[in-house]
Amino acid sequence: MPKFWDINPPPKNKNLFIPGLKTSSRPRRIILISSLLFLIIFSGFFAFNLLTFKNKAKQSLFSIKDNFQVAAQSLSGFKLDTAQSSLQSVNKDIQSLKGKSDLLGLTLIDEVKIAFINLSLLGQKALGFGEDLADLSSNGFQWLVGGQGEKLISKLESLRNNMDQLVLISSALQDQALKKNLGINNEGLEVGEDLKKNLDFLDALIGWLKPADEQHFLVLFQNASELRPAGGFIGSYADLTLKGGSLINVDVRDIYDPDGQLDLKIIPPKPLQAVTLRWGARDANWFFDFSLSARKVIEFLEKSKIYSEKNIEFSGAIAVNMESIRDILAATGPIKLGEYDLEINSGNVLEEIQREVEEGQDKKIGEPKKILKVLAPMLFEKIGNLDEDGKVILAGKLGDRFVNKDIMIYFKDLAIESYLKNLGVAGEVMDLPEDFNGSYLAVVNANIGGHKTDEFINQKIQLDIDISSNGKAVHNLAIQREHFGQNEKEWWYKASNKDYLQIFVPSGSEIIAVSGAEQRDISKRDYRQLGYKADADVVALESSYQKIAKFGIDQLGLLGKTIFGSWLITDPGKEKVLKLSYVGGRPVAVSNEVVYTFIFEKQSGSKTSLAVSLTAPSGYVWKENGRPVFDYSIESPPARLILKTTLSQLAN
């Protein structure tokens, strides 16, 4: 079987496994079902191999094994009803098998009796786990927003207890399987460790929800029409107050409210100095890694008098963009806003909110984001009242949004944050392993003073990588941006798009040629004389800053990557292209059957296509297509795309 299949266009089903092409896992398997899958399959294997009854019992064993496998497949596809039915059948068959053994007068040795008991308990606990998971999926959000937090916490505790028992029972079964030499591999022995990580997550989550004290959590509304490195400009946000597992208040605010009551004088990152003297929460999502951006936003908000005078601290943040709001409205149906004489639906939500913010009556009285204060509580209520079919549809759509980084979550709690990163929903930048053999690319846009023009920008990325026999890899990158908002009525769509591009490549990469790079005049200020302080995270980013005068390009280093930076200003109806040639930071290993890996990480909210062309060294072809050049393209890449190809040496 080949290790890669070229897919163009990409499959709509993100769960489809494509050898060689990997994307991040669906986050809706929120209790790490993947750890349970092996456990269930292994249990069926154990039942089928350990117990050998007379012929009348054989059919029951086959049924147990088959139902365990069906349950595993159903959980993998998040088909909870089917999984529950299969696990119920397992319990029924186990009890039937036990009855048959008694009727047949079978005398079981002690080890088999113990294994039988453990297997039966495992089936019961797995069934309880599936029931709890299905109940949470159906009712969890409604309990949260409907003042029934005690039910939510109770169900999470039940889930946690069932998982704890699964760890103990699976460990006992694995020990027995090893004694009987049933061929359980190391992967089976690691299942217990995976489940223990899940227990740590559940303990932390329950510990956060359960206290009677109020907990505060942020929802950051990121506007991808005005892109920023972590997603989009944070024009507004919601402060969610939770108590005892229940949502008791939703306070939607304009981001300028807390910034207006912030006494700190912090030096902004260099490109932001083109539009602002002082750094604040509104511009704090400057980092491509969402956890770093979210932490920075929280730092600014907590120091604003709005929250500092009340000693309010935030446990974390979730970022959502407009595509996610559209999906919610598609599931809930339209919402009527009487005081605005508007009906908001999935088709007009961006247009109408943008118009109210820029030109509505609320702006005249100093509350341009008031419409969001009215809309947000209605959305929460509508979600809580969805029927079962609506919840399933919405869960599927939001799962896709997580995959595409349209929704990202950050928690201060390290156990929860680690779990979110394992799920691939934390918006983190990938750490490249020390033995990484390949290349990495992320193209990160920052609209600075270009209004809402990213809504009408079409971006195309073309990367050609030419690998020589000595392992030197020359990268030729072209980033094309077309502004097609020239005919729009609204001025905020047909302004010039002022984009500061950051191009993340492997650490140690060196520029050899550039065309199309632009500069932007930024007033120089003596910030220290003005009493401003430097931010530690910005210092970490800019301490490596250097201007490569020969090419008119900036160079920095962060997150184990080299970053090339340049302005690209595109007028309405025009097109701009930035071209860079650079040598990868580490030589490629060149030999027969060596795997070369290309990784692309997409910016949240960006609309871009990607085309990659890999040229093998002289004397080699790519095993996947038998040719010296391998081409791959995709119109809408996932949050993280991993492309693996294999060098094959030609015969002399």
* CATH number of the domain that residue 236 is part of: 3.40.630
User: Which residues have C-beta within 8 Å of that of residue 294, sequence separation ≥ 6?
Assistant: 218, 220, 230, 285, 316, 317, 319, 408, 410
**Does 504 lie in the same domain as 373?**
no
State residue 199's pLDDT score.
Answer: 83
Best CA proximity match to 548, nearest among 521, 527, 517, 523: 517
Report H helices in 367-497. 370-384, 388-403, 414-423
Boundary of a domain, candidates 187, 209, 231: 209
User: Which residues have C-beta within 8 Å of that of residue 590, sequence separation ≥ 6?
Assistant: 467, 469, 470, 471, 617, 620, 647
Residue 494 CB neighbour total at 10 angstroms: 21
The residue type at 650? L
Does this model's pTM top 0.85?
no
Question: How many domains are contained in the chain?
Answer: 3
Q: What angle do CA 7, 12, 13 make, to 5 degrees?
A: 105
DSSP label of 301:
H
State residue 132's pLDDT score.
Answer: 81
Classify 411 as helix, strand or coil: strand
Give the span between the Cα atoms of 280 and 437, in whole angstroms. 39
State residue 179's pLDDT score.
Answer: 63
Instruction: Report pLDDT digits (tens) over 67-112.
Output: 655 655 555 444 556 666 765 676 666 566 555 554 444 444 445 4
14, part of any domain: no
**Does 274 lie in the same domain as 153?**
no
Give the span between the Cα atoms of 412 and 355, in whole angstroms. 35
* Backbone phi and psi for residue 267, each to the nearest 5 degrees, phi listed first: -70, 125
592, part of any domain: yes
201, part of any domain: yes
What is the domain range of residue 634? 438-649
Classify 519 as helix, strand or coil: coil
Give the span between the Cα atoms of 25 and 15, in whole angstroms. 8
Return the CATH number at 533.
2.60.40
Which stretches of the chain score pLDDT less than 50? 1-58, 61, 76-78, 102-110, 112, 182-189
Boundary of a domain, candidates 162, 191, 209: 209
Q: Do 183 and 196 meet the contact criterion of CB atoms below 8 Å apart?
A: no
